[in-house]
């Protein structure tokens, strides 16, 4: 006889129940209840298949189906009593099913194990999150493309080392992020395709002797096919790691843009004005409008990277097949997913609402000798001077302008000639920032015409 306090699901060989500390370290119900809908969907597919293959009767399958729907509605309405003693979502659902329908509930777990069950549930959950990320990315890309179109020809300084480098266009800068988030989108779609195989029916690790139909359950759950190796299927968390690494790279992009928005919205830059809807005030300094959303997006990256690293560490030492260590996968992924979706939505909101300050951008674009390269290129093109020499001459002119506290277009032709006798009046035609950006028509360059071509391409992609 089994002690009454031993586990009702696996307590057959146990004489006593677990220590309270054991229960605390063992239970995952506190968090894996988020997979309740997936767990019930998996069980419904499994039960229908067991009936179709003659492993259980149609009557039992029908009782299980109805009972599972009742359990789902209890969970959705919040009346379901989750029990730590029942460890996880799988056993909580099954135990409640037993209370509702009695004996047939005990037949549901035929030809399956919690190992393939949890892998299936978790995959279904992660798959939904890939879909949510795809949506969030598409919305953000759409907002960036709109910004790029509105300011395709606005000039602004382009930076390297955060030092003024060459003038670029606002549209070009926005479209740079579109490319980054576009790669994130393709990683999301790619990973989602790869992960869409059903572990259900792999059982504990070795498969099962029951005549199950894994194609049937795979199809019922929207998977492309069943996994091909049961040992791999129950011990694989690559799908979660691909989710986290894809989230990490995307979060890094979000963070870089957030950092730019923090800098750009400062009084020193004034490149953008963020909307009131995505800013906060200070309780002591009345003039303050803080870019908190951008700062928090920048910070969220830490926990997303952390989740990726944590799960990598969990998995790296595990022999095949399932080990309980793997239960630590969920909280990391849940937290990363919540924060990734929130960061995507917040960034989309900020981008939609923000105003690029065209005049400040233009003023900054013209300062800092941003057209020095244009000057050197002119000498190469018109005077046939080797680029290295032109670079040297231009450097001397920059030093002269800097010494006088003026910009390059403020130097006179005589000033120019004193450094290189061949320079003519024509040089001034290339020193303006508009001219500079308009001239950069190479494919992918900053010229408004190039930006508009990329905007058109993305609009077609977005449909």
Which residues contact ligand ARG (rule: CB under 6 A)? 28, 32, 88, 114-115, 118, 322, 324, 326-327
323 a catalytic residue: no
Which C-beta is closer to ligand ARG: that of 112 or that of 440?
Answer: 112
Shortest separation between residue 214's beta carbon and ligand ARG, angstroms = 19
Nearer to ligand ARG, 327 or 357 (CB): 327
Q: Among residues 204 and 341, whose Cβ is nearest to ligand ARG?
A: 204
Give CA–CA dist 318/310, Å, rounded.
Answer: 14
Tell me the three state secondary structure of residue 166: strand
- Closer to ligand ARG by CB, 117 or 246: give it: 117
Q: Which of 186, 266, 282, 367 is catalytic?
A: 282
Closest CA to 294 of 259, 266, 269: 259
- Would you say 253 and 236 are in contact if contact means Cβ atoms under 8 Å apart? no
The CB-of-209 to ligand ARG minimum distance in angstroms stands at 19
> Residue 129 Cβ, how far from ligand ARG at the closest point, in Å?
17
User: Which is nearer to ligand ARG, 198 or 279 (by Cβ)?
Assistant: 198
Nearest one of 143, 148, 88 to 121, comparing CA atoms: 88
Under a CB-based contact definition with an 8 Å cutoff, are residues 221 and 269 in contact? no
Shortest reach from residue 153's CB to ligand ARG, in Å: 55
Closer residue to ligand ARG, CB minimum distance, 32 or 374 = 32
CB of 125 within 8 A of CB of 65? no
Considering the complex, what minimum distance in angstroms separates the CB of residue 235 from ligand ARG? 11
**Which residue do the tokens 């244009």 mark?**
374
Structure tokens that stand for 156 in this block? 């602004």
Q: Say how many CA atoms lie within 13 Å of 268 toward its Cβ.
A: 4
Least distance in Å: CB of 328 to ligand ARG? 8
Q: Which of 77, 161, 209, 442 is catalytic?
A: 161
Q: Report the length, in residues, of the chain.
A: 463
Nearer to ligand ARG, 26 or 418 (CB): 26
Which distant-in-sequence residues (6+ apart) come within 8 Å of 78 by Cβ?
Answer: none
Interstrand relation of 197-198 and 163-169 (parallel, antiparallel or unpaired): unpaired
> Which residues, in sequence order, are CB contacts of 422 under 8 Å at separation 6+?
379, 383, 385
Q: For residue 305, how many other CB atoms are within 10 A of its CB?
A: 19
Residue 186: alpha-carbon gap to chain centroid: 11
Q: Select 272 or 314, whichever has its Cβ closest to ligand ARG.
A: 314
**Cross-strand pairs, 166:** 158
Tell me the CB-side half-sphere exposure of residue 352, using CA atoms within 13 A: 13
**Within the chain, how many helices (H) and strands (E) appear?**
18, 6
Q: At what angle do helices 114-150 and 238-264 cross, to 10 degrees?
A: 30
Cα of 102 vs its chain's centroid, Å? 44
CB of 103: closest distance to ligand ARG in angstroms?
Answer: 24
Q: How far is the CB of 316 from ligand ARG (least distance, A)?
A: 17
Q: Please indicate whether residue 186 is annotated as part of the active site.
A: no
Q: Which residue has the tokens 């998977």?
A: 223
Q: In the numeric block, which tokens belong to residue 346?
A: 């917040």
CA distance 393 to 16: 88
Encoding tokens for residue 301? 């990256």
Q: Which residues form the catalytic set?
A: 161, 282
């Amino acid at each position: 006889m089994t002690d009454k306090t031993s586990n009702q699901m696996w307590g057959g060989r146990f004489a006593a129940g677990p220590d309270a500390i054991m229960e605390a370290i063992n239970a995952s119900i506190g968090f894996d209840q988020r997979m309740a809908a997936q767990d019930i969907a998996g069980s419904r597919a499994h039960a229908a298949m067991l009936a179709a293959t003659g492993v259980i009767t149609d009557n039992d399958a029908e009782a299980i189906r109805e009972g599972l729907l009742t359990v789902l509605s209890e969970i959705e309405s919040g009346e379901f009593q989750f029990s730590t003693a029942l460890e996880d979502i799988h056993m909580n659902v099954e135990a409640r099913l037993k209370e509702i329908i009695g004996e047939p509930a005990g037949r549901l777990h035929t030809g399956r194990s919690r190992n393939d069950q949890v892998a299936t549930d978790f995959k279904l959950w992660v798959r939904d999150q890939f879909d949510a990320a795809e949506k969030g990315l598409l919305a953000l890309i759409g907002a960036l493309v709109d910004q790029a179109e509105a300011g395709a020809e606005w000039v602004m300084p382009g930076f390297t080392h955060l030092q003024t480098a060459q003038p670029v266009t606002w549209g070009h800068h926005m479209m740079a992020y579109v490319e980054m988030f576009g790669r994130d989108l393709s990683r999301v779609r790619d990973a989602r395709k790869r992960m869409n195989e059903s572990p259900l029916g792999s059982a504990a690790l070795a498969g099962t002797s029951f005549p199950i139909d894994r194609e049937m359950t795979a199809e019922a759950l929207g998977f492309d096919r069943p996994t091909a190796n049961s040992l791999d299927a129950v011990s694989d968390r690559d799908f979660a790691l691909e989710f986290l690494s894809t989230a990490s790279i995307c979060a890094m992009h979000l963070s870089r843009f957030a950092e730019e928005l923090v800098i750009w919205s400062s009084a020193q830059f004034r490149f953008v004005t963020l909307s009131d809807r995505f800013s906060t005030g200070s309780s002591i300094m009345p003039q303050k409008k803080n870019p908190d959303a951008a700062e928090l997006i920048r910070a969220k990256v830490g926990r997303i990277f952390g989740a990726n690293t944590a799960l990598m560490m969990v998995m790296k030492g595990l022999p095949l097949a399932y080990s309980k260590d793997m239960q630590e996968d969920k909280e990391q992924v849940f937290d990363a997913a919540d924060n990734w979706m929130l960061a995507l939505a917040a960034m989309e909101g900020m981008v939609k609402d923000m105003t690029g300050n065209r005049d400040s951008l233009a003023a900054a674009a013209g300062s800092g000798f941003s057209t020095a390269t244009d000057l050197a290129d002119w000498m190469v093109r018109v005077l046939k001077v080797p680029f290295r020499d032109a670079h040297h001459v231009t450097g001397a002119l920059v030093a002269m302008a800097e010494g006088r506290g003026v910009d390059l277009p403020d130097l006179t032709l005589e000033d120019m000639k004193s450094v290189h006798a061949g320079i003519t009046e024509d040089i001034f035609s290339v020193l303006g920032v508009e001219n500079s950006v308009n001239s950069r028509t190479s494919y992918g360059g900053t010229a408004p015409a190039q930006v508009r071509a990329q905007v058109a391409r993305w609009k077609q992609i977005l449909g």
